Amino acid sequence: MNDTIAAICSAGGPIGLIRVSGERAIEAVCAVFRAKNGKSMSEAPTQKLVYGTLHDAMGRMIDCCYAVVLRAPHTYTGEPMAELQCHGSTAVLTQGLEALFSQGVRQAEAGEFTRRAFLNGKMGLSEAEAVHDLITARTAEAARNAAAQVMGAVGSPVQQMRDELIGMVAHFHAVVDFPDEDIDPVLFDDAAALLHRTTSRLYAMAESYERGRILREGVPCVILGRPNAGKSTLLNTLLGRERAIVTNIPGTTRDLIEENVKVGQLLLRVTDTAGLRDTNDPVEQAGIDRAMAEASACSLILAVFDGSQPLNEDDMLVLARSAGHRAVAIINKDDLPRVLDEKLLKKHFLHIVPISAKTGEGMDRLLTLLPRLIGLEDGALDGALITNARQAAALARAAERCEAALYAATSGMTPDAVVMDAEGAIAALGEITGETVTEAVVTRIFSDFCVGK
Ligand code: GDP
Backbone angles phi, psi at 30, to 5 degrees: -55, -40
Closest to 103 (Cα-Cα) out of 146, 160, 56, 135? 56
Q: Identify whether residues 204 and 220 lie together within a single domain.
A: no
Same domain, 227 and 180: no
Domain co-membership, 142 together with 167: yes
Statement to judge: residues 55 and 10 lie in one domain: yes
**Residue 115 burial by CB count (10 A; 0-12/13-18/19+): exposed, middle or buried?**
buried
Q: Considering the domain boundaries, does residue 409 fall inside one? A: yes
CA nearest ligand 1 atom 2, residue: 228
Together in a domain, 356 and 242: yes
Q: Looking at the structure, tell me whether residues 61 and 40 fall in a common domain.
A: yes
pLDDT in tens, 422-434: 999 999 999 999 9
Please give the residue that has the higher pLDDT: either 279 or 372: 372
Q: Which of 346, 374, 402 is the last residue of a domain?
A: 374
Regarding whether 101 and 23 lie in a shared domain, the answer is yes
Residues 177 and 219 in one domain: no
Q: pLDDT of 339-375, one tens digit each?
A: 999 999 999 999 999 999 999 999 999 999 998 888 7
Q: Domain for residue 439, yes or no?
A: yes
- 196 by Cβ neighbours in 10 Å (0-12 / 13-18 / 19+) ranks as middle
In percent, how much of the chain has pLDDT > 70?
A: 92
Q: Are 361 and 355 in contact (CB under 8 A)?
A: yes
Q: What is the DSSP letter of 205?
A: H
Cα of 326 vs centre of ligand 1, distance in Å, is: 24
In a domain? residue 379: no
Domain-embedded: residue 298:
yes
- CATH of residue 80: 3.30.1360.120
| Helices 90-101, 25-32: inter-axial angle, 10-degree rounding | 120
* Strand residue runs (E) in 156-249: 219-225
Statement to judge: residues 363 and 410 lie in one domain: no
- Same domain as 350, residue 258: yes
CATH number at residue 236: 3.40.50.300
Query: What integer pLDDT is reported at residue 259 of this predicted model?
Result: 81
Domain match, 280 and 314 both: yes
Are 204 and 221 part of one and the same domain? no
178 occurs within a structural domain? yes
- Name the closest-CA residue to atom 20, ligand 1: 230
371 CA → ligand 1 middle, Å: 25
Domain that holds residue 369: 215-374
Q: Among the atoms of ligand 1, which is closest to the Cα of residue 361?
A: 23
* Domain endpoint, select from 339, 374, 409: 374
Residues with CB under 6 A from ligand 1: 225, 227-233, 246-248, 252-253, 275, 332-333, 335-336, 356-358
Atom in ligand 1 nearest the alpha carbon of residue 226: 3
Instruction: Compute the distance from residue 233 Cα to the ligand 1 centre, in Å.
Output: 6
Q: How far apart are the CA of 266 and the centre of ligand 1, in A?
A: 25
Residue 43 is given by DSSP the state G
- Here the CATH number for the domain that contains residue 172 is 1.20.120.430
pLDDT of 158 over the 90 cut = yes
Q: Which of 245, 246, 270 to mutate to test the pocket of ligand 1 (most atoms within 8 A of CB)?
A: 246
Give the tens place of pLDDT for each residue, 292-304.
Answer: 777 677 889 999 9
> For residue 375, is it left (φ>0), alpha (ψ between -120 and 50) or beta?
left
User: If pLDDT is split at 50, 70 and 90, which confidence band does 179 have?
Assistant: low
Ranges assigned E (strand) in 252-318: 257-263, 266-272, 300-306
Q: Whose CA is nearest to atom 6 of ligand 1?
A: 230
Share of the chain above pLDDT 90, in %: 63
How many Å apart are CA 39 and CA 396, to the nearest integer? 56
Q: Pick the last residue of a domain from 108, 136, 161.
A: 108
Beta-strand pair 219-225/300-306? parallel
Q: How far is the CA of 362 from the centre of ligand 1 (A)?
A: 15
Position 403 pLDDT exceeds 50 = yes
Question: Is residue 380 included in any domain, yes or no?
Answer: no
Per the structure, the count of domains in the chain is: 3
Question: What's the CA gap between 63 and 17, in Å, rounded?
Answer: 13
Q: Which one has a higher pLDDT value, 206 or 171? A: 206
Q: Are 199 and 406 in contact (CB under 8 A)?
A: yes
Atom 10 (ligand 1) nearest CA: 228
